Amino acid sequence: MAEHPSRRDVLRAGVAAGAGIILGSPAHAADGEPAAEMTLFDAVKRRRSVRRFLPDPVPEEDLKQILKAACMAPTSGNQQPWRFLVVDDPALIRALEDACVRRGMEQTRQQGTTETAHLAAAEERLRTRFSAYLSAPVYVVVLTNNGSRYPSYNEKDGSLAAGYLMLAARALGYGTVFCTDSIAEEVTREVLSIPDNMTRICITPIGMPDKWPGRPSKKPWRYFVKRNSL
Ligand SMILES: Cc1cc2nc3c(=O)[nH]c(=O)nc-3n(C[C@H](O)[C@H](O)[C@H](O)COP(=O)(O)O)c2cc1C
C-alpha cells in the first residue's frame, strides 16, 4: 500500500505545479527523494519572504547545493569576501530567539512601559513573533570580511550572494527571508560570537514554509524601466 506523503512531500510537489519543472533530475536528496528543480524564472517568480516554518530538516545535500549557489555570485574584482555561518544547532536557535525577546523587552521598558500586565503582554507578543522567525531548522548568517581587498563593495557582494542563496533555496522548495532588523545584528553577534572584523549582511532561515505566503503587491515592471532616458 502506498504511504501517505509527508507534508514536506506535498509542499515539494507544490513546486512542481508550475511549468518548466524538471522532476527526477539528479537524485540527490539525503532522504532518497528525487530532486524537484524549478526553472530559474519559476524560482524568481515564486520566491517569497517566509516568516514561519515547519520543523522538517533540510537535507545536507540540499543545504550544500544552496550554499554552492551563493558562492557562484559575482563579487567586486572576484574578491569573494563572504563567510556563510550555518546555524542548525537547536540550542543556538533557541538562544537567538531568547535574545531577540530579551532585546525587545529592553526596548519596551526603555519606551516607558512599567505596568506588569503590559510587560507580560509585550513579552507574549515578542515570543509569538520570534518563535515564528526562529522556527526554521537552519539559518545562514551572510557575513563579509572587513579586511577584504575592496571592502567598500562588501555590502553589494554580500547582498548578491544572499539573493543567489534565496533563489537556490526556492528552487529546491524552501522558504527564506532576508532578515536585517527583525533579527538584530547585535543579537547574532553576541549569541554566535561573530568577530568585529566581520559585517553581517543578513541572516536567513531556510526551511519548509508553514504555508507559502501569497504574492505581496509588486508594481508592474514597466513602472521601473525606462529606455534611453529617464
Ligand atoms: C535589505 C532588506 C532588508 C530586509 N529586512 C527584513 C527584516 O528585517 N525582516 C523581515 O521580515 N523581512 C525583511 N526583508 C524582506 C522584505 O520585507 C521583503 O522582501 C518584502 O516585504 C517583499 O516581500 P517578498 O520578499 O516576499 O517579495 C528585507 C529585505 C531586504 C531586501
Kindly list the structural domains of the chain, giving each domain's residue range(s) and its CATH number in brackets, ordered by start.
7-88+136-211 (3.40.109.10)
Residues with CB under 6 A from ligand 1: 48-49, 51, 177-182, 216
Task: Give me the pLDDT at residue 38, please.
Answer: 86
Could you say which DSSP state residue 219 is in?
Answer: -
* pLDDT score of 6: 52
Instruction: Over range 123-150, report the average pLDDT.
Output: 98
Share of the chain above pLDDT 90, in %: 83
* Distance (Å, whole) CA 180 – CA 207: 18
Nearest atom of ligand 1 to the alpha carbon of 213: 26
> pLDDT tens across 3-18, in order?
445 555 555 544 444 3
Residues 27-62 have pLDDT tens digits of: 333 333 344 568 999 999 999 999 999 999 999 999
- From 139, 141, 160, 178, the mutation candidate for ligand 1 (largest count of ligand atoms within 8 A of CB) is 178
Q: For a ligand 1 pocket test, name from 47, 48, 49, 100 the mutation site with the most ligand atoms within 8 angstroms of its C-beta.
A: 49
**Between these two residues, 150 and 27, which has the higher pLDDT value?**
150
Task: Give me 104's grid cell.
Answer: 525587545
| Of 29 and 71, more confident | 71
Distance separating alpha carbons of residues 176 and 157, to the nearest angstrom = 19
In whole angstroms, what is the distance from residue 47 CA to residue 50 CA?
A: 9
Distance between first and last Cα of the chain: 63
Say which residue, 19 or 16, is predicted with more confidence.
Answer: 16
**Ligand 1 atom index nearest CA of 218:** 27
The mean pLDDT value for 177-199 works out to 98
What average pLDDT does this structure show over 144-164? Answer: 98
Q: In whole angstroms, what is the distance from residue 122 CA to residue 136 CA? A: 23
Atom of ligand 1 nearest to the CA of 48: 26
pTM over 0.85: yes
